């Protein structure tokens, strides 16, 4: 069965970066894009962007350009999202998803000094 | 960006009742609308796709409909396990956008 397993929670300091992973299993990894979504209590769900797992091509929501960087390692069927120059506003649960039906379990990123 | 205006923000209903949740798109999204349920601490689960298609394994008491740019999720015969948050999402145009969510409480 299709599964997306995300890396664990992160506690990061303002100004630093974090890299979240999303390991896919149960299907041909390079046949589907992986999307990333941010969820906060205040802003709800926001679409960050997606990566074409075959070509490595990316799309970023304008709001997240310069904040998020999406990459992929085909050899391990894993997608990554790096968040840079972290601020407290980046504190959120981040999901990877193979739209529409398959979502990872979420990764909590907390930005605090 | 396409705005998805979801209502109500919350509702409380009794077991066995029928409830409806609405999403209004700021422009035509040509039925590219999905509904999700989310329980606390869990990821969203797809209920309905393409406005009215029921995802495999989802009970038939969930249904979706559309009228112009207004989309609705109806839940019949409410069960205790239906308590949670519900979101709509348009996939017609990037960036994909979500409704603000509806918190459903079962009395």
How far B35 CA sits from the closest chain A CA (Å)? 10
Q: Give residue-wise pLDDT tens across range B3-54.
A: 999 999 999 999 999 999 999 999 999 999 999 999 999 999 999 999 999 9
Q: Could you tell me how many CB contacts below 8 A there are between chain A and chain B? A: 42
**Cβ separation B49–A100 shorter than 8 A:** yes
Q: Find all residues with CB under 8 Å of B86, minimum gap 6, and list them.
A: B21, B35, B36, B37, B38, B47, B73, B101, B102, B104
Q: Give residue-wise pLDDT tens across range A60-113.
A: 999 999 999 999 999 999 999 999 999 999 999 999 999 899 999 999 999 999
| Residue A41, pLDDT score | 86
Q: Torsion over CA of B24, B15, B52 and B67, rounded to 10 degrees?
A: -40
Confidence of residue A43 (pLDDT cuts 50, 70, 90): confident
| Residue B101, pLDDT score | 97
In A, which residues are within 8 Å of B87 by CB distance?
44-45
Q: Give residue-wise pLDDT tens across range B72-86.
A: 999 999 999 999 999
| Three-state DSSP class for residue A89 | helix
Residue of chain A whose Cα is closest to the Cα of B33: A100
Single out the residue of A62, A38, A88 nearest to residue B43, CA to CA.
A38
The mean pLDDT value for A36-46 works out to 93
| Residue A42, pLDDT score | 82
Distance of alpha carbon B58 from alpha carbon B65, whole angstroms: 16
| Residue B87, pLDDT score | 97
Q: Is the dihedral of CA A84, A89, A94, A98 positive or negative?
A: negative
């Amino acid at each position: 069965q299709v599964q997306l397993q995300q890396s664990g929670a992160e506690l990061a300091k303002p100004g630093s970066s974090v890299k979240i992973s999303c390991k896919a299993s149960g299907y041909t990894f390079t046949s589907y894009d992986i999307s990333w979504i941010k969820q906060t209590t205040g802003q709800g769900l926001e679409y960050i962007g997606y990566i074409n797992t075959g070509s490595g091509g990316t799309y970023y929501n304008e709001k997240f350009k310069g904040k998020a960087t999406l990459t992929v390692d085909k050899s391990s069927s894993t997608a990554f999202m790096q968040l840079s120059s972290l601020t407290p506003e980046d504190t959120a649960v981040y999901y990877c998803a193979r739209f529409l039906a398959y979502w990872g379990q979420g990764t909590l990123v907390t930005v605090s000094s | 960006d396409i705005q998805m205006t979801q209502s109500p923000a919350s509702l409380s209903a009794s077991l066995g009742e029928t409830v409806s949740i609405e999403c209004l798109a700021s422009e035509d999204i040509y039925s590219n609308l999905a509904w999700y349920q989310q329980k606390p601490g869990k990821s969203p689960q797809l209920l309905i796709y393409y406005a009215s298609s029921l995802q495999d394994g989802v009970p038939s008491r969930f249904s979706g409909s559309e009228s112009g740019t207004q989309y609705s999720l109806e839940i019949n015969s409410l069960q205790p396990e239906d308590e949670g948050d519900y979101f709509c999402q348009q996939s017609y145009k990037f960036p994909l956008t979500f409704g603000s969510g509806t918190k459903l409480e079962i009395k």
